[in-house]
């Protein structure tokens, strides 16, 4: 059985840790690999390798760094299916969904090919008599990323390409549930010609996380995961003096107005609610139809679609939804469905007890649809992260907006309507970081930035795009005056334009 190695200083390094974690194929329930849970000392080795590579890399001209990114992107494009296979084997998502994940990550690498444009400073001539001012952006140094299981290729590529293109070196701690995709991409990274130590991968659990958060030479930490852990990462990292961006959980609502096309709204909810088995922080898990008639039409349109969902392993080309990532997570999602039934929600489609033929030991949950969910129920308040869609009936547009604005999460939301006034008002007044108008999953393209509000994001910077460049660099402003403009004699007043 394969034992997964760390990747430090450009080479595979077998961990000496006595603690290990199993890696499973979620479609079969069979163990596929052993993952040693690295020690804090091994994290030290990775940081040392990143520090050794930093001076030369930080002083490499930005255009030359960008050329490495061009080569990297070309290799990623040529190996997309291979990356997708690694994702599906350990996460379980369908091949098409895994290809989409890889492509969205590659788009960030493509954005990084143009980063020299964003690293330019500003210049002002004559800010005072014979005085000029200009600004430059410096890399931070060694930075780190801690990434989740649901996007084992894309989310790391939201982090390290931006950081590295800005002149930093990087230590990545992938999820221990599906670590292999990062290793496949690392091979392509090396093939693209990046110097050894610019990117390092250390596998592990909380011991490595805590070592990253407190390490004196790690200057910044990026994190994506659940809100409780995001808050822990933010508080611990900032207490240690680090710059931290920590993206947390979500409970994304989609408002369906009475004038919406019900078939199109239902199709959108199917993809947004059940794609990747609901294991997306941008998954729509709450549908909010406005008015009873709208709700009746929506549920009537949704129910047969949910019942007809094709659930199966990634090897099935007709599968629309795969298994959940682990047995433990499957049991957690089933517990939420039980909770909804006990709370009195109407279970329209029950995904419990689903078994895929030939894959009876896989971690499958069928598509589940609840109607008449209320704000007091756990299935409404908490992030389920599974193929469970809740319909919360709203008597009015204003009530729907209030419902969303009062929720603790503010990651993504959407409205489906033909009314431009309603759409514009919704986009303007909703207290959520990413908004879709007739777009169910409004994940920004790579040259914008991704980030929620409220308890969906801890820190001042969203991830990737221009915000990512600002996060991974720091500003320096230089004010200069040359001797011919300097009058003799000391000046003791605070300097001004006069």
205, with CB counted inside 10 A (0-12, 13-18, 19+), is middle
Nearest to 251 by CA among 290, 288, 285: 285
Answer yes or no: CATH 3.40.50.11540 is held by domain 2-248+456-478.
no
Contact 4, 34 (CB under 8 A): yes
In the chain, residues under CATH classification 3.40.309.10 are 252-437
In the chain, residues under CATH classification 3.40.605.10 are 2-248+456-478
What's residue 348's pLDDT? 98
Q: Would you call 267 helix, strand, or coil by DSSP?
A: helix
| Domain at 252-437: CATH code | 3.40.309.10
Q: Would you call 268 helix, strand, or coil by DSSP?
A: helix
Residue 276 pLDDT > 80 = yes
Mean pLDDT of 387-414: 98
CA pseudo-torsion sign 452, 454, 457, 463: positive
What residues pair up with 170 in beta bridges, in sequence order?
143, 199
In which band, very low, low, confident or very high, does the pLDDT at 484 lie, cut at 50, 70 and 90? Answer: confident
Mean pLDDT of 209-217: 98
Catalytic residue (choose from 112, 113, 166, 281)? 281
What's residue 309's pLDDT? 97
pLDDT above 70 as % of the chain: 99
Cα 476 from Cα 135, distance rounded (Å)? 5
Cα 93 from Cα 113, distance rounded (Å)? 29
Please report how the helices 154-165 and 62-78 are oriented relative to each other, as an axis angle in degrees rounded to 10.
Answer: 160
Mean pLDDT of 320-334: 97
Cα 448 from Cα 215, distance rounded (Å)? 31
Interior angle at CA 12, CA 10 and CA 13, nearest 5: 115
Number of residues in the chain? 498
What's residue 496's pLDDT? 72
Residue 431 pLDDT > 80 = yes
102, with CB counted inside 10 A (0-12, 13-18, 19+), is buried
Q: Would you call 204 helix, strand, or coil by DSSP?
A: coil
Active site residue 113: no
What's residue 282's pLDDT? 95
Nearest to 92 by CA among 312, 282, 347: 312
* Residue 207 token pair: 């011991």
Task: Provide the 8-state DSSP code for 359.
Answer: B
Mean pLDDT of 34-46: 98
Contact 352, 366 (CB under 8 A): yes
Interior angle at CA 415, CA 280 and CA 349, nearest 5: 55
Strand spans (E) along 150-195: 169-173
What's residue 437's pLDDT? 97
Contacts of residue 113, defined as CB under 8 A and 6 or more positions apart, other chains included, come to: 66, 69, 70, 73, 165
In which band, very low, low, confident or very high, does the pLDDT at 486 lie, cut at 50, 70 and 90? Answer: low
Mean pLDDT of 200-217: 98
Mean pLDDT of 328-334: 98
What's residue 497's pLDDT? 62
* Residue 361 token pair: 């030991």
Please report how the helices 80-91 and 180-191 are oriented relative to each other, as an axis angle in degrees rounded to 10.
Answer: 160
Give tens-digit pLDDT for 104-160: 999 999 999 999 999 999 999 999 888 999 999 999 999 999 999 999 999 999 999
Mean pLDDT of 391-416: 97
Residue 2 pLDDT > 80 = yes
What's residue 492's pLDDT? 74
Cα 422 from Cα 191, distance rounded (Å)? 51
Contact 6, 24 (CB under 8 A): no
What's residue 1's pLDDT? 82
Q: Which residue shows structure tokens 């992107």? A: 73
Nearest to 148 by CA among 22, 246, 42, 4: 246
pLDDT above 90 as % of the chain: 96
What's residue 483's pLDDT? 75
Contact 415, 257 (CB under 8 A): yes
Contact 258, 296 (CB under 8 A): no
Give tens-digit pLDDT for 223-258: 999 999 999 999 999 999 999 999 999 999 999 999
Cα separations (Å) of 155 from 22, 128, 473?
22, 46, 20
């Amino acid at each position: 059985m394969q034992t997964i190695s760390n990747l430090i200083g450009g080479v595979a390094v077998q961990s000496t840790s006595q603690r290990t974690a199993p890696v499973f194929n979620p479609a079969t329930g069979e163990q596929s690999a052993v993952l040693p849970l690295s020690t804090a000392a091994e994290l030290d080795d990775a940081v040392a390798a990143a520090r050794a590579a930093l001076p030369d890399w930080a002083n490499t001209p930005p255009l030359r760094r960008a050329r490495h990114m061009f080569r990297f992107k070309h290799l990623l494009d040529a190996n997309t299916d291979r990356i997708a296979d690694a994702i599906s084997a350990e996460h379980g998502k369908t091949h098409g969904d895994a290809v989409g994940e890889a492509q969205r990550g590659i788009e960030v690498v493509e954005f990084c090919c143009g980063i020299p444009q964003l690293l330019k400073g500003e210049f002002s001539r004559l800010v005072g008599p014979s005085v000029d001012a200009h600004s430059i952006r410096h890399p931070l140094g060694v930075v780190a990323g801690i990434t989740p299981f649901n996007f084992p290729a894309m989310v790391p590529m939201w982090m390290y390409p931006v950081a590295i293109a800005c002149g930093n070196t990087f230590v990545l701690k992938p999820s221990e549930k599906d670590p292999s995709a990062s290793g496949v991409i690392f091979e392509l990274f090396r093939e693209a010609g990046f110097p050894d130590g610019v990117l390092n991968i250390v596998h592990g659990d909380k011991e490595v996380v805590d070592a990253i958060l407190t390490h004196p030479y790690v200057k910044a930490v990026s994190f994506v995961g659940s809100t409780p852990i995001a808050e822990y990462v933010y508080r611990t990292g900032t207490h240690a003096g680090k710059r931290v961006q920590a993206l947390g959980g979500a409970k994304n609502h989609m408002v369906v107005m009475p004038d919406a096309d019900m078939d199109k709204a239902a199709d959108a909810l199917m993809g947004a609610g059940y794609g990747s088995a609901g294991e997306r922080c941008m998954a729509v898990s709450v549908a909010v139809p406005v008015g009873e008639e709208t709700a009746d039409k929506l549920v009537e349109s949704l129910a047969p679609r949910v019942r007809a969902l094709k659930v199966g392993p990634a090897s099935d080309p007709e599968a629309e939804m795969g298994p959940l990532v682990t047995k433990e997570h499957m049991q957690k999602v089933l517990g939420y469905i039980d909770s909804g039934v006990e709370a009195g929600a109407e279970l329209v489609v029950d995904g419990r007890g689903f078994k895929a033929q030939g894959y009876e030991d896989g971690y499958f949950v069928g598509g589940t649809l609840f109607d008449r969910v209320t704000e007091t129920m756990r299935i409404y308040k908490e992030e389920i992260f599974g193929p469970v869609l809740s319909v919360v009936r709203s008597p009015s547009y204003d009530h729907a907006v209030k419902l969303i604005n009062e929720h603790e999460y503010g990651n993504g939301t959407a409205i489906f309507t033909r009314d431009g006034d309603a759409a514009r008002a919704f986009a303007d007044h909703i207290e959520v970081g990413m908004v879709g108008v007739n777009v169910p999953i409004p994940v920004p393209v790579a040259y914008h930035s991704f980030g929620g509000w409220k308890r969906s994001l801890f820190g001042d910077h969203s991830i990737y795009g221009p915000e990512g460049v600002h996060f991974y660099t720091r500003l320096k402003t230089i004010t200069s005056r040359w001797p011919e403009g300097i009058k003799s004699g000391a000046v003791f007043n605070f300097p001004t334009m006069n």
